[in-house]
Structure 1
Amino acid sequence: MIFKERVQQEKQQPQEFKPVFFRIQDPEQKAALLQLVNDHPHIKIYDEIDSQLRELMKITHPTRPLSDQETREAIQKHLGSTSREEYGVWVYFPWLHKVVHIVDEDEYIHLRTSRNMHKITAEERDILKTKKIGVIGLSVGQSIALTLVMERLCGEIRLSDFDALELTNMNRIRAGVHNLGLPKVIIAAREIAEIDPFIKVTCYPGGATEENLDDFFSKDGQIDILVEECDGIDIKIISRIKAKALGIPVVMEMNDRGMLDIERYDLTPDYPMMHGLIPDIEPEKLRHLSNEEKVPILGPMVDMHNMSPRMKYSLGEIGKTITTWPQLASSVVLGGAMVADTCRRILLGQLQSSGRYYVDFEKLIN
């Protein structure tokens, strides 16, 4: 009974995913942070501001290594009259029960992207931090979202998925067992915040629907790219109708043979949806089709004739020996890399094409 009560209490806790910032040069924020840690003695405090300042001095003086004495002097000059404790920002992660001391936003971005230089220039980094990317579907989409964030290819990311994490998902979704039962959007949003608390994350835990797509695409500014990785045929089509109407490019990875789709509605407004492979059918009618009825529609969209032999075989086993199509972690991670690279080049004006492309390891390496 004790365990049951504790479990129910945990389930009733808010599913927080947004960090809380305390800049304690402000007396009110300092008092609020002290109140927080005093009221919750289980909160752990992490302060590695010195190591961040040393790194900052190192990358600011790239022509030669600074001695320990020179580093200390450079840090003190940089701090001026501000104490180490008051420098930067203290970030509280409610779901982790941790407070972490880090440099503030501009220096954080400078440090975290310093090893991207010059593959991504400072000017390109500053362009990318103004961009908004929407991701629908968080199986392949989780890997994509995390790669986008690690490479810092946007300043805002919108996540949409209706599903909660199940143990069977953990063959390709990066998550610990303590996350079982949590919405996939919350799991991804929390990890994003832990990587970069300054990136804005908006979650749609009910998934993408006709009712919320306007909000997803356009609230507080239009997204610059749609990454579509959902399972539902109706949302695949409806989201493209919306993207096409708004002139937003769509990128999709199919998780078999490294198949990547790019649809540049921003450059070619009349480009046929999914290269003309989407049939002329009302999306409303798709909701009521059986799996068997969906196959003739889905087949051309996913290029069924060119699927890997094992994926083709697996589709025939759905409802017999398996319940859904298989996905492998290696393919999901590859998809994250391909989509992130493609999004970066689209956002920076380095890629102009639409089309379907394959990065098939079995063909490339044999």
Structure 2
Amino acid sequence: MIQDYLRKQQDESNDYKPVFYDLKNAHDLQTFETLLETHPHIRINDNIDSQLRELMKIRNPTKRLTVAEYDEKVQAYLGDVSMEKFGVWVYYPWNDRLVHLVDEADFIELRTSRNQHKITAAEIAVLSKKKIGIVGLSVGQSIALTLVMERICGELRLADFDKLELTNMNRIRCGVHNIQVPKVVIAAREIAELDPFIKVKIYGDGMTEANMDSFFTEDGVLDIFVEECDGVDIKILSRIKAKALKIPVVMEMNDRGMIDIERFDLEPDRPLMHGLIPEVNTDTLKGLTDAEKLPIFSPMLALENASARMKYSLGEIGKTITTWPQLASSVVLGGALVADTCRRIALDQLKSSGRYYIDFEQLIV
């Protein structure tokens, strides 16, 4: 009986794009009504009134509005549009949720209001046009979500070929129901739930030589490339592509708070990874085990400067552990470091290349 019941359950889909409904549009209204009729168990979050009141609040910072004044301003803002048709309704098919939101401009104003004046309105406008690509969705997931929360870009391109395993959840923030869901889908869904107006494009096969041009240039050249992948060949080939396109590259090592910056946009003749990439045939680098990658990774990532525990762990690969360790605290720190760096690069506030350490064991003793 249990097996029969389980066989009837719907398989997990890989949907990650929300669906928008503008009820002022006749076609959207009709399809919206059909959605409600065909999804009797849909979960609805309609708190548009709260959003509108908050919008009136941030637009009147010098005055404490009364309830009557809030009502008056909200009604004036609505005009002839009814509350239920104002803004947009956003449907998330993977969890069968429907959320009523203000439109994009108001949403951005509300979402970024607590950023000011650390990030000015003019800077917010600049950042909303930036395109950032991320390869590798372990540290990369933390980076992507931080970029979105701070709204440092208007478009993200995400590449990773892996599906989530339980062992990944020591550092990837998600629920156990996501086991065997592609990491790019998990990240894209969370981004959509944080901010459905940010454009997300996923590459579920990871970055490959075949899709590299699309990743870097389709629908506009990337402004910043964030590299967090384990593949030695792609680590090198992606930098060759970024250098050719004069795109800055940012990488976080996930150990000792090391962040690496290569400003190919300002220094087009700069050697790849500061001249640390060895002379190798990239065709021979595919499919290597983690143990086989170490001799190549070592000079590139300056593993002689790694923390004592990382050095010990690297020697245990293939003996007591299967791959190099990553901690959630380091991954979250990496998300913050890369997001801050990307914001300053995007706003032309940071012009340097180099390798930097935010090592808590040395800073806090």
TM-score bracket, shorter-length normalisation? over 0.9
RMSD: 1.3
What does 1:243-282 correspond to in 2, within 5 Å? 243-282=242-281
CA shift in 2, pair 1:100/1:292, >3 Å: closer
CA contact (8 A) 2:233 2:282 kept: yes
- Tell me the number of residue pairs that the alignment of Structure 1 and Structure 2 aligns: 365
Q: How high is the TM-score relative to the length of structure 1?
A: 0.97
In structure 1, the partner of 2:42 is: 43
Q: Percent identity over the alignment?
A: 65
Verify: 1:284 aligned to 2:278, yes or no: no
Verify: 1:103 aligned to 2:118, yes or no: no
**Counterparts of 1:344 and 1:8, CA distance in 2:** 47
CA contact (8 A) 2:224 2:248 kept: yes
**Counterparts of 1:177 and 1:4, CA distance in 2:** 23
**Counterparts of 1:4 and 1:157, CA distance in 2:** 41
What does 1:346-357 correspond to in 2, within 5 Å? 346-357=345-356
- Is the deviation greater in 290-299 or in 133-142? 290-299
**Counterparts of 1:214 and 1:7, CA distance in 2:** 41
In structure 1, the partner of 2:151 is: 152
What does 1:3-152 correspond to in 2, within 5 Å? 3=3, 6=6, 9-11=9-11, 13-152=12-151
Give CA deviations for 1:63-91 in whole Å, capped at 9, x if unaligned. Answer: 11111111110111111111101100000
In structure 2, the partner of 1:316 is: 315
CA shift in 2, pair 1:64/1:252, >3 Å: same
Give CA deviations for 1:307-347 in whole Å, capped at 9, x if unaligned. Answer: 10000000001111111000000000000000000000000
- Is the deviation greater in 281-290 or in 222-231? 281-290
Q: How high is the TM-score relative to the length of structure 2?
A: 0.98
CA contact (8 A) 2:112 2:151 kept: yes
CA shift in 2, pair 1:170/1:288, >3 Å: closer
> Structure 1 residue 300: deviation in Å?
1.1
> Structure 1 residue 134: deviation in Å?
0.3
CA shift in 2, pair 1:169/1:309, >3 Å: same
**Counterparts of 2:291 and 2:192, CA distance in 1:** 41
SS of residue in 2 equivalent to 1:10: coil
In structure 1, the partner of 2:188 is: 189
For structure 2, the 5+ residue unaligned runs are none
Q: Which amino acid aligns with 2:10?
A: E
For structure 1, the 5+ residue unaligned runs are none
Q: Which amino acid aligns with 1:17?
A: Y
- Is the deviation greater in 41-50 or in 279-288? 279-288
Verify: 1:299 aligned to 2:298, yes or no: yes
**Counterparts of 1:141 and 1:350, CA distance in 2:** 23
CA shift in 2, pair 1:127/1:7, >3 Å: farther
> Structure 1 residue 292: deviation in Å?
4.8
Q: Which amino acid aligns with 2:240?
A: I
> Structure 1 residue 6: deviation in Å?
3.6
